[in-house]
Amino acid sequence: MGKKLVRANCVDEYICIETGSIYVDGSIILAPGAKDLLRNKGIRIVYGPKPNAQKSEICSTSDASKIDQLVVQIVKILKNDFCITDTEKVVRICSQVIKLINNN
């Protein structure tokens, strides 16, 4: 499996909504523009794997991939249909959606 090049135009899809950070493990390469954008927005770049404990607080392990898929779709909808690209807003909206789902 190859590495994913994450550019500034799609960096929102990789931000962990639980921590507000982006985790860069061996499968991801951040483009220089993406790094600049993240630093300018105050998003912490963590070089290493995403901790599994964060996901278990939100949902069961079997549901974690569903949550990840949901977040990717929410980010795409916000970006393409509503022109919302501000990382802080995207993270806040995704967090609210997940909280609503977990309350039901």
For the chain, which residues make up each domain, given as ranges?
A: 4-103
**Confidence band for 57, pLDDT divided at 50, 70 and 90:** very low
Contacts of 60 (CB under 8 A, 6+ apart): none
Contacts of 47 (CB under 8 A, 6+ apart): 24, 25
pTM equals: 0.54
**Confidence band for 68, pLDDT divided at 50, 70 and 90:** confident
Q: Which percentage of the chain shows pLDDT scores above 70?
A: 85
**Neighbouring-strand partners of residue 45:** 22
* Start-to-end CA span in the chain (Å): 37
- Express each pLDDT in 7-38 by its tens digit: 998 888 888 877 788 888 888 899 999 999 89
Half-sphere exposure of 21 (CA within 13 A, CB side): 13
Residue 78 three-state SS: helix
